[in-house]
Amino acid sequence: MTTATKPLKRDKSLVPLSREHHFGLLFCWKLKQGLANGTSLEVMRQYIQYFWKNVLKAHCREEEIILKRLLPEDDVNSLRLHEEHQLIEAIIGLINKQKTVNTSLVATLQQDLTDHIRWEERELFPYLQTMADPEELADVGRLLEHDLQEPKDEFTPAFWEHKKVA
């Protein structure tokens, strides 16, 4: 008989970031829906720019600052987080600079960001909860309570709601 390991409960200090991760996964779902619905790639580019400017850029910076407080700079997880944030920013930069938006680049952003968020939730946060100094983790939680606002998505048109008409 095998026993399943009980999932580690999320430390309340990291809950604000987890809420933003949910919002990020919703962004990824919207991109996936847009691609499936045949949404104009220019509209999707505008949405990606909107989301980067209003949500994702600040979220990535906040995580980088927090990680510097909680983990040594040379920690493999700290390095991975930084590299993945740079990759996501680079993909968004390519999408913004292209004359004609490339479908595969939007799909790559959607998949890479989904994978990144899942890694943070499933591996990085549990690691932080076991490795970080509890007082530092509590301090981070207090900072996040004050610094992070509930994200809003007021982008129009809501392309993810519309099915492509054949």
Q: Are 83 and 116 in contact (CB under 8 A)?
A: no
Cα 72 → chain centroid: 22
Top pLDDT among 1 and 55 is at: 55
Q: What angle do CA 50, 54, 59 make, to 5 degrees?
A: 125
Nearest to 59 by CA among 109, 18, 9, 28: 18
126 pLDDT tier (thresholds 50, 70, 90): very high
**pTM, entire model:** 0.89
Could you tell me which residues come within 8 angstroms of residue 120 by beta carbon, excluding any fewer than 6 positions away?
Answer: 17, 21, 63, 81
pLDDT at 112 over 70: yes
Contacts (Cβ under 8 Å, ≥6 apart) of 112 = 84, 87, 88, 91
Q: Residue range 130-137: average pLDDT?
A: 91
Q: What confidence tier does 77 reach under pLDDT thresholds 50, 70, 90?
A: very high
Average pLDDT in the 145-162 region? 83
Per the prediction, the chain carries an average pLDDT of 89
pLDDT tens track for 2-51 = 555 555 588 899 998 998 999 999 999 999 999 999 999 999 999 999 99
User: What's the pLDDT tens digit per position in 48-61?
Assistant: 999 999 999 999 99
Domain spans of the chain? 12-150
Look at residue 3 in the predicted model and tell me its pLDDT: 52
Alpha carbons within 13 angstroms on the beta-carbon side of residue 146 total 5
pLDDT at position 143 over 90: no
Predicted local confidence at residue 53, as pLDDT: 96
